[in-house]
Amino acid sequence: MPLGERGGWDKSESRYCGVETDFDNDMPHLLSYNLSTGGFDFVVATLMDPAYRPSLVERDASGGSNVLPFAASDLVLSPSQWSSHVVGQISSWIDLDSEDETIRMDSEITLKQEIAWAMHLSLQACLLPSPKGTFCANYARCVNQILQGLNNMQLWLRIPLVKTDDDSMDSNQLVSLITSPDAQILPLKNVSYISSWILVFPPRSHHEYHIGLQLTYFIDSWELWNSFRLLCEHHGQLSIALNVLSSLPSANSLGRWFGEPVRAAIINTDSFLTNARGHPCLSRRHQKLITGFFNHSIQIVISGQSVHSLPGGSLDSAANHTVNNVDNAQRHPLRPYLDYVAYMYQRMDPLPEQERFELGYRDFLQSPLQPLMDNLEAQTYETFEKDAVKYIQYQRAISKALQDRIPDEEVTSLTTVLMVVGAGRGPLVRAALQAAEETGRKLKVYAVEKNPNAVVTLHSLVRIEGWENEVNIVSCDMRFWDAPEKADILVSELLGSFGDNELSPECLDGAQRFLKEDGISIPSSYTSFIQPVTASKLHNDVKSHKDLVHFETAYVVKVHSVARLAPSQPVFTFTHPNFSTEKSNQRYKKLRFELPSDTGSAIVHGFAGYFDATLYKDVHLGIEPSTATPNMFSWFAIYFPLRTPVCIQPGSPLEVHFWRCCGSTKVWYEWCVLSPSPSPIHNSNGRSYWVGL
């Protein structure tokens, strides 16, 4: 049964834990033993007898096979059991890049037979074995052929999570030792993703033969995955099953995987430690990694033989509700490992309210709002108005501005004129009046709004709240309104996910003519930021449209399954008011990103964009990750895709160019990568995506 529940909102696939099993011709028994007795939710089961080889099958005179290769009939389980509780495991002996032609041909035939059988069984996923070496072109070719005709089934490629960067001997030491005149390097045959050498030193005396050290050089497992998926054209049904080992790479290296399509994490029992009570447990680094998997809907699979002998009982009372009875739990040797994983799951902190609200928006591409061209609907206003944090920040900023504008000794004699441009349904009007009450200042408010439907709500609000003597409603586009007097304070909430992408600069340029020369604009400035990201899901969602337009469109998205490869950098800044006679809202910025040295190689699918705004003095709000305003949900990030993902090697900088272009009727962005390899300039002349004036 599932690892546990964390509230009714918890629908994540990571609640389900599987077990990797040996071949068993009795599938009903295999399922019953591991699900009913063991408590697992599904099995990763080999579909075919490991002894089967097509080249050894006898054939009759007509050329047909006399021996059926499959383990059992599809009738031994119901369709729902096959679909819900079995992940097929493709035979591990398969080597489609073998130099032995018989092995290669047997492997190709078997792979296609097993995938066809899995599709016949309506399995949701099949686990492919790891490539046997660093060169996997033929393996990838065969898998790519299969992917072209695949139904909804996922293919999980098993990738070992190899440790490459935290060894006791650094690369300089390694080179020094290898080049030692006393050492002979004996190359060994490549085994899977590992290349090995044994360094043999001459005997120190006639009776002593000294073997110096065995060194193993691991190829970065991400490189293995990247080469395979590039050969398969980033196919959306090709996913990853990470084989988690006892040693882990650096945190930056691990972070890359959260932007990749990882569907399962296979944890061998050898990776578990033993706690003081004799129970299996994981290191703190492994615990942190597993918690990350849980948060990204990555399922855990337990693999291997039990290496812990327990006197009896389950791991912890917190996990006992998943145990039907203690005797059954004791009979399955891997049950203590399942209990520990369940214990970890149940100990996780519950998601905060904001995260629960945003669950349905994770990694979902949305077109940005165009509030200047379009009138917002009531549902959109309703969502934004629930963001109390944003309006608290605005109220703080207005309070400070009022106090600076009107000295304490003049509060009874002077009235501040405040204009809310883009008043919507009135939340900023309310914040301004509350700030005036809080500071004891007298206030006259103009609420300017172009949406006639929102104006109806504003009039109703003024009547209900009794604001007739303080609030004047103006139904007009702020750029064309002829104000009866000038404002001391101009307040707006025209910011988009990228700061200026909802045309705040153009709107405020048009409105600032009725702001006094020494007047205050709230916000007073805002800056956009970008950072390179690995985002396989977003890339495949954009690619599914099969056109250029969607690769040249910026999307609003609650980014979740992404790897942030480098800290964000500022792009465009706008300051208000701007009374310069030579002002222009066109911008151009060149940025250079350096990935941390221990990250390894990575792929850039696009750029996540954010903003940070100074409302007034030290009051700010924004969504840039390092300075984001806590618990604010009015804005998600913006995502700029790349038509062709860019692979970054360690030590190779990423050079990016961004433009903000302005025409008479529209504003648009263009972007490109120049280094390490040039990309096309995206969205040239705003051909695919623009914001209308």
Instruction: List, by residue number, the catalytic residues.
Output: 493, 502
Q: HEC states along 590-627?
A: EEEECCCCCCCCEEEEEEEEEEEEEEECCEEEECCCCC
Q: Within a 10 A sphere around the Cβ of 160, how many other Cβ atoms?
A: 19
Distances (CA, A) of 455 to 384, 424, 473, 514, 556: 17, 7, 8, 21, 27
CA pair distance 533, 602, nearest whole angstrom: 9
Token reading at 373: 């061209």
CA pair distance 140, 638, nearest whole angstrom: 33
CA pair distance 576, 515, nearest whole angstrom: 11
**Phi–psi pair at 215, nearest 5 degrees:** -110, 135
Q: Within a 10 A sphere around the Cβ of 377, how many other Cβ atoms?
A: 11
- 3-state SS class at 504: helix
CA pair distance 563, 533, nearest whole angstrom: 5
Q: Name the strands in the sheet holding 587-593, side by side, starting at the edge strand that comes first in the sequence.
A: 587-593, 654-662, 666-675, 691-692
Token reading at 597: 């040295």
CA pair distance 693, 689, nearest whole angstrom: 13
> HSE on the CB side for 142, CA within 13 Å?
21
CA pair distance 371, 348, nearest whole angstrom: 40
Distances (CA, A) of 522 to 402, 507, 623: 12, 13, 17
DSSP state of 75: G
